[in-house]
């Protein structure tokens, strides 16, 4: 075999290996995001819901075909934390919240988000009037950022009227989504926003794993 042919085969093999490796890496990176979106739509299609309440007892079905006509029993959620935690029944979010995270320190907030959703230091707590500001991952690098790396992946599915529940010091606070917006990554307005009402703001990356934009969900307290 001529040297030129051998060189061509080696280069082609290397190129193919790099392409296949890149595709494999991309597939691994996208898997959690695709999985979360698929599960969300699957549950919506099947009518499967999560609930913090005790599901009502279902009556025995007279025939196997009856189950095709009835809604599945809602799945009971037990909060990961009642000391400080968040549950969003619509999208199946259930995570602890790490309080008073320094938003000016990348090391601090990246470290906090390994253990759940982060609460921005200097913003209100649920038992205070003002803006409770929470942020979390919807990242591609799930292997780097731990169990909660994609906790807010389907946050974009929330719409005005949807419910968000926060637990704080053993007490439950129910919020209703009022607004949804997308802002540039450098826009700090949602974080520095003050209010004379009890507001809750959720933030994550848009698109997931980037710093281009921020998805912002604003909710109002409806009961506590």
CB 133 within 8 A of CB 204: no
Instruction: Decide if 112 is inside a domain.
Output: yes
Instruction: Decide if 51 is inside a domain.
Output: no
How many structural domains is the chain composed of?
1
Instruction: Quick: pLDDT tens for 150-206.
Output: 899 899 999 999 999 999 999 999 999 999 999 998 888 999 988 889 999 999 988
CB 81 within 8 A of CB 66: no
CB 29 within 8 A of CB 207: no
DSSP 3-state of 66: helix
Of the pLDDT bands very low, low, confident and very high (cuts 50, 70, 90), residue 21 is very low
Tell which residue, 82, 110, 86, 115, has the closest CA to residue 98: 115
98 versus 224: which is more confidently predicted? 98
User: What's the domain range around 140?
Assistant: 80-223
Range 200-218 average pLDDT: 88
Instruction: Decide if 111 is inside a domain.
Output: yes
Instruction: Decide if 36 is inside a domain.
Output: no
Percent of the chain exceeding pLDDT 90 equals 47
Instruction: Decide if 43 is inside a domain.
Output: no
What pLDDT is stored for residue 25 in this prediction?
A: 42
Beta strands 198-206 and 130-135, pairing class: parallel
Instruction: Decide if 169 is inside a domain.
Output: yes
| CATH classification at residue 182 | 2.40.260.10
103 versus 207: which is more confidently predicted? 103
Instruction: Decide if 63 is inside a domain.
Output: no
Q: From CA 151, how far away is CA 137, in angstroms rounded?
A: 6
Instruction: Decide if 192 is inside a domain.
Output: yes
Q: From CA 80, how far away is CA 101, in angstroms rounded?
A: 19
- How high does pLDDT run on average in the chain? 81
Instruction: Quick: pLDDT tens for 47-101.
Output: 888 888 876 655 555 555 555 455 677 888 899 999 999 999 999 999 999 999 9
**What is the 8-class DSSP label of residue 199?**
E
CB 145 within 8 A of CB 139: yes
Range 129-139 average pLDDT: 89
Q: From CA 93, how far away is CA 31, in angstroms rounded?
A: 18
**Token pair belonging to 49:** 């819901």
DSSP 3-state of 89: helix
């Amino acid at each position: 075999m001529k040297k030129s042919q051998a060189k061509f085969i080696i280069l082609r093999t290397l190129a193919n290996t790099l392409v296949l490796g890149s595709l494999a890496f991309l597939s691994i990176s996208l898997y959690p995001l695709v999985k979360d979106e698929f599960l969300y739509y699957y549950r919506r299609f099947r009518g499967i819901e999560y609930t913090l309440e005790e599901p009502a007892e279902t009556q025995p079905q007279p025939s196997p075909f009856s189950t095709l006509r009835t809604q599945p029993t809602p799945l009971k959620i037990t909060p990961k934390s009642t000391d400080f935690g968040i549950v969003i029944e619509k999208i199946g979010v259930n995570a602890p919240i790490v309080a008073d995270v320094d938003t000016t320190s990348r090391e601090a907030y990246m470290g906090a988000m390994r253990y759940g959703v982060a609460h921005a230091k200097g913003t209100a707590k649920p038992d205070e009037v003002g803006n409770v500001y929470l942020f979390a991952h919807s990242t591609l690098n799930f292997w780097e950022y731990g169990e909660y790396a994609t906790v807010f992946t389907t946050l974009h599915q929330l719409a005005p009227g949807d419910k968000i529940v926060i637990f704080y010091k053993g007490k439950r606070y129910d919020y209703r989504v009022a607004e949804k917006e997308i802002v540039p990554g450098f826009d700090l307005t949602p974080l520095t926003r003050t209010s004379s009402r009890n507001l809750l703001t959720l933030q994550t990356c848009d698109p997931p794993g980037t710093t281009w934009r921020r998805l912002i969900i604003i909710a109002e307290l409806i009961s506590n």
